Amino acid sequence: MGFWWRPLSVLAGVLLVALILWAGSGWVAALGFLAGVQAFVMLRRLWQEFRLARWLENPDEVEPPDATGTWGDIFYRLQKLQRRQKASRGQLTSALEQFEHAAMAVPDGMVILNRSEQIEWCNPASRTYMGLDCERDRGQFIRYLLRQAQFLDFLDAADYSRRLVCKSPVNRELILSLQLVPFGESQKLLVARDITDLERVDAMRRDFIANVSHELRTPLTVVGGFVETLADAPDLPAAESRHYFDLMLDHTRRMQHLLDDLLTLSRLESADHMLKDELVNVPELAQALKAEAESLSRGRHRVSLQCQSEACLKGSLQEIRSALGNLVSNAVRYTPEGGDITLAWRERNSEGVFSVIDTGEGIAAEHIPRLTERFYRVDRSRSRETGGTGLGLAIVKHVLTRHGARLEIQSVPGKGSTFSAVFPAQRLQLPGAEKSGTVIPFPEREQAVG
């Protein structure tokens, strides 16, 4: 009602004046007055429409018209609607900017394609994985930029439930998982995810299963064959039966060693397995390892010990003994008869270094980076002959990693090898200092032989 009150009041006033003029001056004066009022109203309307049109053409730069009456109400309502639309547009723009920033930060490559498979937008990760550039390639057909046959088949199939696993066209070391997601009006979102690490882990899992199966198959086959022989020939001579039993025992022990090493690796890799904080007397441990090496060697090697430090190690005695023991047993296994094996404990640049030095056949440089891989062997047949499981150095690596240490390998084919477990300074401690818990670094001393 408030909106109509003002125009009705004006109309009533005009009619009242017209009646007064008609009564006093006749109908000519009344009609002239009404014609003048009509002309004024038309001119005012044209002026207000002009102001409205100018404001609507550029509402952000031109001030809204200031008027009274009906036109004032119209301007007010339009201005209110314009402000509401501007606020809504600002919110939409902000939301779009946030979405774009989020999409730019996503580690997966993202490419928006229209119904013709032309690139409308792509994020920076798509450059890393697919070599695409948003500014350069916008509007380009993606099948002209990515021309691998398997990708084109994947694009033509339009099977949105399937993923394509392929190598990156710009970095052959990367393995990508590609997926198409439909959205909007016939648009598609191409997502490229780096699954290199997942594929590597999966390959390691497959290799691990294959290696374990292979390692167990041989002794199981041998034991099974001997059992069948003994079952089919119960009257074999005692000496021959004893020989078969000894061979079965050797292969059974080999399987037991393999399972023990697998369980050790599993325990070391378990996140729930806490590292013990014990004081390991390395000089005493080195003496024990020397005795074990001499027992394992059975007089075939010259075993010596060079202990240049009284420092102990803080850590797990069981794990450290296992790691250093593996280094020593490997030296005995792979050093030819008559060779030398030296165990050394010293400090170097405030670090504790336990080295096992042998005069064996040595290892070619291309094999050294892979020596700590599970079941990796330089000479598979020889490793099995010496009783190795192929897991020893993998155990060493895990133990040292848990103690913040590292394994250094130096080897010259035909001359021998040096395997060194290098412990950080914070793991070193003098005997008797365990009460105070003080870590005592040692000055650098002369390096031992090798």
**Per-residue confidence of the chain (450 residues) as pLDDT tens digits?**
555 566 666 666 666 666 676 666 666 666 766 666 666 666 666 676 676 676 666 666 556 566 555 666 666 677 777 777 777 777 776 766 776 766 677 888 989 999 999 999 888 899 999 999 988 999 999 999 999 999 999 999 888 889 999 999 999 899 999 999 998 888 999 999 999 988 888 887 787 777 777 777 877 888 888 888 888 877 888 888 888 788 888 888 878 878 888 888 887 877 556 777 889 999 999 999 999 999 989 999 999 999 999 999 999 999 999 999 999 999 998 899 999 999 999 999 989 999 999 998 889 888 898 888 887 877 655 555 555 677 889 999 999 999 999 999 999 998 999 999 999 999 998 766 554 343 333 333 333 333
User: Domain 106-194 belongs to what topology?
Assistant: Beta-Lactamase (3.30.450)
Note whether 71 and 53 are within 8 A (CB). no
Q: Is 315 exposed, middle or buried (0-12, 13-18, 19+ CB in 10 A)?
A: buried
Residue 281 per-residue DSSP state? -
Note whether 103 and 110 are within 8 A (CB). yes
Note whether 357 and 341 are within 8 A (CB). yes
pLDDT of residue 48: 66
Backbone angles phi, psi at 122, to 5 degrees: -150, 155
- What distance in Å separates the CA atoms of residue 159 and residue 157, rounded to the nearest whole number? 5
User: For strand 109-113 and strand 187-194, is the pairing parallel, antiparallel, or unpaired?
Assistant: antiparallel
Q: Is 349 exposed, middle or buried (0-12, 13-18, 19+ CB in 10 A)?
A: exposed
pLDDT of residue 326: 92
∠ CA 268-273-276, nearest 5°, is 95
Starting at the earlier edge strand, list the strands of the sheet with 187-194.
Answer: 119-122, 109-113, 187-194, 175-183, 164-167
CB atoms within 10 A of CB 411: 20
Note whether 391 and 293 are within 8 A (CB). no
Residue 429 structure tokens: 């401690």
- The domain segmentation of the chain, as residue ranges, is 2-98, 106-194, 199-269, 278-429
pLDDT of residue 376: 80
pLDDT of residue 439: 36
pLDDT of residue 154: 92
- What distance in Å separates the CA atoms of residue 107 and residue 128, rounded to the nearest whole number? 10
- What distance in Å separates the CA atoms of residue 385 and residue 333, rounded to the nearest whole number? 9
Which three-class secondary structure state does DSSP give residue 58? coil
Q: In this structure, which long-range contacts are made by residues 136-144, counting pairs with CB atoms below 8 Å and at least 24 apart in sequence?
A: 141/116, 141/117, 142/111, 142/113, 142/117, 142/118, 142/190, 143/117
Question: Which CATH number does 278-429 carry?
Answer: 3.30.565.10
Q: Is the torsion defined by CA of 312, 314, 319, 323 positive or negative?
A: negative
Q: Helical H runs in 110-193?
A: 125-130, 134-137, 142-145, 149-157
pLDDT of residue 345: 96
Half-sphere exposure of 350 (CA within 13 A, CB side): 7
Note whether 170 and 130 are within 8 A (CB). yes
Residue 173 structure tokens: 């070391």
Rounded to two decimals, what is the model's pTM?
0.56
Backbone angles phi, psi at 152, to 5 degrees: -65, -40
- What distance in Å separates the CA atoms of residue 439 and residue 429, rounded to the nearest whole number? 5
- What distance in Å separates the CA atoms of residue 312 and residue 432, rounded to the nearest whole number? 10
pLDDT of residue 445: 31
Question: Which CATH number does 199-269 carry?
Answer: 1.10.287.130
